[in-house]
């Protein structure tokens, strides 16, 4: 009973992330790659993403605040960040990246600064949401197993 | 990746591109994945493993060439014995791009038979054309899907280029669908009634691309 309820909560949470555009279809695709031998694949990938992206965001921040702006370098960093966001289905983050890149291409420093704030915001929001999601998912257990079953 | 028994099985002079000749390995394909993004490497690794392929994932074109034994230094000594059946490479990488890696592979008499697939998050037609012209089997838009990998695997397992040309053209049509601002039409993706004839010669490819452009 309890587990079913948790599973429903997990599904509901995921649905709402999709509906609100935090995540897109790619996240679902990744979940379909999980199996009994790799039940936490998505959480592992997402963790990797947040660790990796923290570094990239720092680089971008540095590039923005130190001296004259090198738009090509910024665009390059953002391209990498956008790529991995897209790979985990982080839709809102990815969309902000696109906006940022447009400002880069236009050589618009102010636009870059403004959009970067948004990028960081969406990134942080998603991180919190997914942390909660995975916590819940772990409690609910992998689909098909019953409570207390030893693997 | 390589098991203890599968070490030095042949010299560089042997053809590398054959698919089903090795009795000591299983019938699993061995794919070399090249991508500077750790996240993407992990994803492609998973996609390939789920599709029952052996995977070696490296982070750069340079590393890939080293693995393939083509780095120009101690070639036969450093060569890893596990044959590669397919190379999947990201396009945008620092240092050597996926395109440059593709060129080097196709210029090598030893490695040119290995099919190379280029992946990119950007749908840039000139980029796609350039890769196909240089001999890439396919150009995949990221994020790569399980269906893409399954299709690739089927193509490689067939062991010949019969389907290659058509797959390339179908993918090209699909990408054209995305490139035009109207919504992508699912019917374009897999059209068995397509009049296009499969062929892998460069001149045939160019005329196919010309046909596709005229259709837009």
Q: Do B47 and A33 touch (CB under 8 A)?
A: yes
Nearest CA in chain A to B49: A33
Residue B171's pLDDT is 53
Report the side by side order of strands in the sheet with B138-141: B53-58, B29-34, B86-90, B116-120, B138-141
Q: Is B42 on the interface with A (CB under 8 A)?
A: yes
On the CB side of A9, how many CA atoms lie within 13 Å of its CA? 16
Inspect the interface and report whether the beta carbons of B38 and A48 lie closer than 8 Å. yes
Of A32, A33, A84, the CB nearest to B39: A84
The DSSP secondary structure of A87-108, one letter per residue, reads HHTBHHHHHHHHHHHHHHHTT-
Label the pairing between strands B116-120 and B29-34: unpaired
pLDDT digits (tens, 9 = 90+) for B13-63: 444 444 444 434 557 899 999 999 999 999 999 999 999 999 999 999 999
Among the partner-chain residues B36, B42, B143, the one whose CB lies closest to the CB of A26 is B143
Closest partner CB to A45 (pick from B43, B50, B121)? B43
| pLDDT beneath 50: ranges in chain B | 5-24, 74-79, 161-164, 179-202, 204-216
Ranges of residues in chain A with a pLDDT under 50 are 146-151
Task: Enumerate residues 6+ apart whose C-beta is below 8 A from B15.
Answer: B113
Q: What are phi and psi of A42, to 5 degrees?
A: -65, -40
Distance to chain B for A56, nearest Cα, Å: 11
Q: What is the structure's pLDDT at A2? A: 82
- Residues 82-111 in B contacting A (C-alpha not used; CB under 8 Å): 92
Rounded to whole angstroms, how far apart are CA atoms B163 and B198?
Answer: 7
Among B147, B140, B200, smallest CA distance to B175 is for B140
SS3 label, residue A62: helix
Distance separating alpha carbons of residues A116 and B19, to the nearest angstrom: 48
Give how far A31 is from chain B: nearest CA, Å. Answer: 11
**Closest residue in chain B to residue A32, using alpha carbons only:** B146
Which of B36, B142, B146 shows the shortest C-beta gap to A86? B142
Asked if B40 lies within 8 A of A45 by C-beta distance, the reply is no
Residue B158, pLDDT score: 81
Which among A29, A33, A88 has the least Cβ separation from residue B39?
A88
Å from A30 to nearest chain B CA? 8
Kindly list the residues from chain B whose CB atom is less than 8 angstroms away from the CB atom of residue A45.
Answer: 39, 42-43
B119, closest residue in chain A (CA to CA):
A83
pLDDT at B157: 85
Instruction: Kindly determine whether residue A49 and residue B39, on different chains, have CB atoms separated by under 8 Å.
Output: yes
């Amino acid at each position: 009973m309890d587990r079913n309820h948790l599973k429903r909560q997990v599904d509901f949470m995921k649905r709402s992330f999709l509906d609100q555009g935090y995540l897109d279809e790619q996240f679902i695709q990744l979940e379909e790659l999980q199996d009994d031998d790799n039940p936490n694949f998505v959480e592992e990938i997402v963790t990797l993403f947040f660790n990796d992206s923290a570094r990239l965001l720092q680089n971008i921040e540095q590039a923005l605040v130190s001296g004259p702006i090198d738009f090509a370098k910024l665009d390059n960093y953002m391209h990498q960040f956008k790529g991995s966001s897209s790979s985990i289905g982080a839709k809102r983050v990815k969309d902000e990246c696109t906006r940022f890149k447009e400002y880069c291409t236009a050589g618009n420093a102010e636009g870059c600064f403004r959009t970067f704030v948004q990028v960081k915001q969406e990134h942080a929001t998603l991180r919190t949401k997914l942390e909660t999601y995975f916590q819940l998912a772990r409690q609910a257990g992998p689909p098909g197993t019953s409570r207390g079953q030893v693997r | 990746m390589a098991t203890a028994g599968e070490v030095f099985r042949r010299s560089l002079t042997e053809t590398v591109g054959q698919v089903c000749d090795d009795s000591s390995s299983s019938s699993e394909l061995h794919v070399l994945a090249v991508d500077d993004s750790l996240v993407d490497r992990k994803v492609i690794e998973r996609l390939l493993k789920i599709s029952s392929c052996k995977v070696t994932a490296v982070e750069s074109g340079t590393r890939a060439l080293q693995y393939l034994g083509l780095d120009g230094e101690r070639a036969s000594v450093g060569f890893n014995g596990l044959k590669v059946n397919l190379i999947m490479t990201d396009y945008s990488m620092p240092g050597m791009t996926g395109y440059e890696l593709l060129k080097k592979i196709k210029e090598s008499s030893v490695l040119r038979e290995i099919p190379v697939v280029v992946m990119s998050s950007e749908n840039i037609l000139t980029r796609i054309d350039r890769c196909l012209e240089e001999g890439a089997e396919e150009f995949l838009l990221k994020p790569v899907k399980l269906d893409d990998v399954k299709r690739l695997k089927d193509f490689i397992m067939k062991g010949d280029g019969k389907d290659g040309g058509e797959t390339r053209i179908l993918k090209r049509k699909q990408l054209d669908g995305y490139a035009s601002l109207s919504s992508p039409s699912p019917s374009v993706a897999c059209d068995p009634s397509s009049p296009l004839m499969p062929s892998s010669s460069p001149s045939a490819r160019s005329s196919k691309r010309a046909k596709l452009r005229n259709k837009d």
